[in-house]
Structure 1
Amino acid sequence: MTAPPIQRIFHHQLIWQLTDQTFHRAARMIALAAEHRFGPFGAVVGVAHGGVPLATLTAGILRLPQYAIAARHNPTSEPYEQATGHVQVDTAALTETLNGTRLPGTVLLVDDICGSAATLAAAAPTLRPFLAPPHRIVTAVLCRNTGAAADPDLWVWDVSDWVIFPWEDLPPRPTVALPAPTGIRTP
């Protein structure tokens, strides 16, 4: 018998919206905090599709190469839909890009949100064959759902409702802007 997936917490009170300006500020905070606490890094890997914008910004700030892997377990992008807990990770693009070489040292693995923690839990082990020893994977996200089963190494906001990111279409109902980031959270 398989255990049911961890359920993300949604209070159904509002839909948070991360504005582009606030996203850029939060990405900078993540990059600098990651470098200060865990650096230096050899590369940044974003989980497509939501983690790629964060990977692009953090890699640019840290002057590192950026890569992407794909992982998905949400059946749709509809607000408040629970994740399945069954994550499919696709490393084909990374395999092709690296062409047999390995990423050096510590790698920053980023995503937009840690909802149940299933995506990061599935993605991190699939990266290990692409890393040169000795290696370490540090995880960072913009938002962490308060129902997550595990914490990333760094995050900015704890949320208990749906979040719309700058690269997503706005829903037909009103949204509330996430407040300006005040700091980086750690476990």
Structure 2
Amino acid sequence: MVRTPGQRAGLSRDAVLAAAREVFAERGTAGLSMRAVAAQLGVAPNALYSHVADKTALVDALLDDRLGALTPPPADAEPLAGLRDVMLATFDLLGRHADLVPLYLARQGARGENARALGAAMTVLLARRGVTGDDAGLVVRALIVHTLGYAALATAEAPLDPPRLRAELEVTLGWLLTGATAPT
């Protein structure tokens, strides 16, 4: 079996993501580059391209990697509770990783495997409430945007009261979900 250059350097995607997390934690968005990650790993920058296509893909992978800490709601959960719970868990996760909130906003969420799994689980719950197709996609987007907005308020340089914001988010998610899943 022929190995790619990144494999010859002894790298894995997990190692690249771990180094990217370290660089990001030390230097922020401005300091996160393929060169900086390669330097952290002690390899040439071209060794990374076997694992991530470019800086945008690296950022997307970092964002999606964090979402891996969330458990998608089970298909048999009460739909509104399951949807609310996953959004509240997302808010809590973002609160623990405040430095990533601007990236989620800039990239308009995450696109990887973990993000897709969460979206698919949410879509199943919405279908049980009669919301399907494009409408389900719109509801998922509205919930994500709403939650990201609250997370941005809670993690800003001069944040509003995070516990109060979480309580407000719980109430407003209920409003959104009730309205979005009401029979028309």
Measured against the shorter chain, the TM-score band is: under 0.3
More helix by share: 2
- TM score, norm. by length of structure 1: 0.27
Structure of higher RCO (CA pairs closer than 8 Å, 6+ residues apart): 1
Which protein has the larger Cα radius of gyration, Structure 1 or Structure 2?
2
More strand by share: 1
- TM score, norm. by length of structure 2: 0.27
